[in-house]
Amino acid sequence: MIGKINAMIPDQVKDLLSDEKNRMYLMLGVTVAIGALYFVLLINPKISELIKTGTEIRTVNDKIALVDRRFKMLEHRTERLKELRAEIESYAKGLPGEKEVPEFLEELSAIAKTADVSILSITPAPIRSIKEGKSVSYYSEMPISITAKSGYHQLGSFVNDLEEGKRFITIDTLRIKGDSRDPRKHNVRIKMITYVSN
């Protein structure tokens, strides 16, 4: 019986292969089977590897982008720190120490002379500490009393020059009293406060 089956198969196969259409279908089926086998054994694992590699690349790119953002933030903060240091230095110039008080008093005289204000006296008061809550402040106040002779415009120029100077100054009181002997020059009393670093 097996012999009959074996004899039958080649005859049927010969009949099948004799038809052009069947040969074409057979070749197409074999090609599809080989392609599917090739895909399953070779391509599919490579696609899985590519997907895994793509995921890893995205993760690395995200990490690189995060590091780049942090680096830019660091650059920005470094620049801001430089700006703040420069600002602190400019404030430090406006808050000199006690040793520089005589120089400041000379500056006051020079500013008055430039504005055509005649200084009669400059009297600094004792430096007084400022308390901010329980802690002592970084600066102290130094009141200064000035008596002078001046016209209105000259006095305005003097006050303006003081405000535009590099020192921090607050004018506490300003009194102007006319002088009957010289109507163009007035008696001026200024009480101002400047600040010194502690």
pLDDT tens, 170-187? 899 999 998 878 878 889
Per-residue pLDDT, 3:
52
pLDDT in the model for residue 21:
80
Q: How far apart are CA 18 and CA 23, in angstroms?
A: 7
pLDDT digits (tens, 9 = 90+) for 39-76: 777 777 777 787 888 888 899 999 999 999 999 999 99
Q: Give residue-wise pLDDT tens across range 101-159.
A: 788 888 889 999 999 999 999 998 888 877 666 666 677 888 999 999 999 899 999 99
Instruction: Give CB contacts under 8 A, 24+ apart, made by 136-141.
Output: 136/198, 137/198, 138/95, 138/197, 138/198, 139/95, 139/195, 139/196, 139/197, 139/198, 140/195, 140/196, 140/198, 141/193, 141/194, 141/195
Domain ranges for the chain, please list them: 1-94, 98-197
The pLDDT of residue 175: 93
For residues 121 and 118, give the distance between their C-alpha atoms in angstroms, rounded to a whole number: 9
| Contact (Cβ atoms closer than 8 angstroms) between residue 151 and residue 182 | no
Is 196:95 a contact under the CB 8 Å cutoff? yes
Mean pLDDT of 10-38: 76
Report the distance separating Cα 104 and Cα 114, nearest Å.
15
**pLDDT category, 2, cuts 50, 70, 90?**
very low
In sequence order, which ranges of 95-150 are alpha helices (DSSP H)?
A: 101-114
**Which CATH architecture describes the domain 98-197?**
2-Layer Sandwich (3.30)
Mean pLDDT value across residues 16-22? 73
Q: Which residues sit opposite 139 in a β-bridge?
A: 197
Angstrom distances, CA of residue 9 to CA of 16, 19, 71, 136 = 10, 16, 76, 110
Q: What's this model's pTM, rounded to 2 decimal places? A: 0.53
